[in-house]
A and B are shown apart, each in its own frame.
Chain A
Amino acid sequence: MAEERICELYPEHEIRCPVHICIGQEAVASGVCANLTKDDYLMSNHRSHGHYLAKGGSIKAMFAELYGKASGCSGGKGGSMHLVDLSANILGTTPIVAGSIPVAVGTAFGSSIKKENRISVVFFGDAATEEGVFCESLNFAALKKLPIIFVCENNLYSVYSPLSVRQPKGRDNLALVRAYGIRGAMGDGNDVTEVYKLAKEAAAYVRKGRGPYYLQFNTYRWKEHCGPNYDNDLGYRTENEFLAWRKRCPVNRFEKELIRGKVIDAQKMGALKQEIREEIEDAVSFAKSSSFPRPEDLKSYIYA
Chain B
Amino acid sequence: MPKMKRKITFAQAILEATGQCMEKDKSVYVMGLGVTDPKGVFGTTLGLKDKYGAERVLDMPVAENGMTGIAIGSALVGMRPIMTHQRLDFMLLSLDQIINNAAKWHYMFGGKMKVPLVIRLLIGRGWGQGPQHSQNLCSIFAGIPGLKVLMPTTPFDAKGLLISAVEDDNPVIFIEHRWLHSVTGVVPEEVYRVPIGKAKVISEGKDITVVSASFMTLEATRAAELLSKDGINSEVIDLRTIRPMDERTILDSIEKTGRLVVIDGAWRSFGIAAEVISLVSEKAHKYLKCAPCRITFPDIPIPTSHALTGDFYPRAIDIINTVRMMFGLPGQSEKEVGICHESPLDVPDKAFAGPF
Q: Which of A285-304 contact B (CB under 8 A)?
A: 300-304
When A72-B110, A143-B61, A302-B107 are in contact, do A94 and B74 touch as well, CB less than 8 Å?
no
Q: B336 on the interface (CB 8 Å rule)?
A: no
Q: Which of A133-151 contact B (CB under 8 A)?
A: 133, 135-137, 139-140, 143
Closest B residue to A104 using CB positions:
B73
Q: Which of B97-117 contact A (CB under 8 A)?
A: 97, 100-101, 105-116
Alpha-carbon gap, A211 to B109, bound state (A): 29
Interface magnitude class on chain A: 35 or more
Q: Considering residues B65, B73, B77, B107, which has the most beta carbons from chain A within 10 angstroms of its beta carbon?
A: B73
CB distance from A2 to the nearest CB of B (A): 20
A136 lies within 8 A of B67 (CB): yes
| Interface-lining segment among A78-86, A214-222, A238-246 | A78-86
B70 lies within 8 A of A113 (CB): no
Alpha-carbon gap, A140 to B105, bound state (A): 22
A103 lies within 8 A of B69 (CB): yes
Q: Which of B204-219 contact A (CB under 8 A)?
A: none
Alpha-carbon gap, A92 to B170, bound state (A): 17
Q: A91 on the interface (CB 8 Å rule)?
A: yes
When A96-B96, A99-B101, A103-B101 are in contact, do A82 and B109 touch as well, CB less than 8 Å?
yes
Interfacial chain B residues near A113, Cβ < 8 Å: 29, 55-56, 74, 79
Q: B242 on the interface (CB 8 Å rule)?
A: no
A77 lies within 8 A of B108 (CB): yes
CB distance from A238 to the nearest CB of B (A): 35
Interfacial chain A residues near B96, Cβ < 8 Å: 96, 99, 133
Q: Which of A48-103 contact B (CB under 8 A)?
A: 72-78, 82, 84, 86, 91-92, 94, 96, 99-103
Alpha-carbon gap, A81 to B65, bound state (A): 21
Q: Which of A160-205 contact B (CB under 8 A)?
A: none
Q: Which of A105-120 contact B (CB under 8 A)?
A: 105-111, 113-114
Q: B146 on the interface (CB 8 Å rule)?
A: yes
Alpha-carbon gap, A140 to B115, bound state (A): 20
B112 lies within 8 A of A74 (CB): yes
Q: Which of B185-228 contact A (CB under 8 A)?
A: none
A137 lies within 8 A of B110 (CB): no
Q: Which of B53-73 contact A (CB under 8 A)?
A: 55-56, 60-61, 63, 65-73
Q: B247 on the interface (CB 8 Å rule)?
A: no
When A103-B72, A103-B76, A303-B170 are in contact, do A91 and B101 touch as well, CB less than 8 Å?
no
Interfacial chain A residues near B100, Cβ < 8 Å: 94, 96, 99
Q: B78 on the interface (CB 8 Å rule)?
A: yes
Q: A235 on the interface (CB 8 Å rule)?
A: no
Q: A41 on the interface (CB 8 Å rule)?
A: yes
Question: In the complex, which of the residues A78, A94, A304 contacts B114, with contact meaning CB atoms closer than 8 Å?
Answer: A304
Alpha-carbon gap, A110 to B108, bound state (A): 22
Q: A132 on the interface (CB 8 Å rule)?
A: yes
Q: B272 on the interface (CB 8 Å rule)?
A: no
Closest B residue to A148 using CB positions:
B73
When A94-B100, A99-B100, A302-B146 are in contact, do A106 and B74 touch as well, CB less than 8 Å?
yes
B79 lies within 8 A of A110 (CB): yes
Interfacial chain A residues near B21, Cβ < 8 Å: none
CB distance from A239 to the nearest CB of B (A): 36
Binding site for B on A (CB under 8 A): 41, 43, 72-78, 82, 84, 86, 91-92, 94, 96, 99-111, 113-114, 132-133, 135-137, 139-140, 143, 300-304
- 17 additional contacts (CB under 8 A) given A301-B106, A301-B107: A72-B110, A73-B110, A74-B110, A91-B77, A92-B105, A102-B68, A102-B70, A102-B72, A103-B69, A105-B66, A106-B73, A107-B74, A109-B73, A110-B73, A133-B97, A302-B145, A303-B170
Binding site for A on B (CB under 8 A): 29, 55-56, 60-61, 63, 65-79, 96-97, 100-101, 105-116, 145-146, 148, 169-170
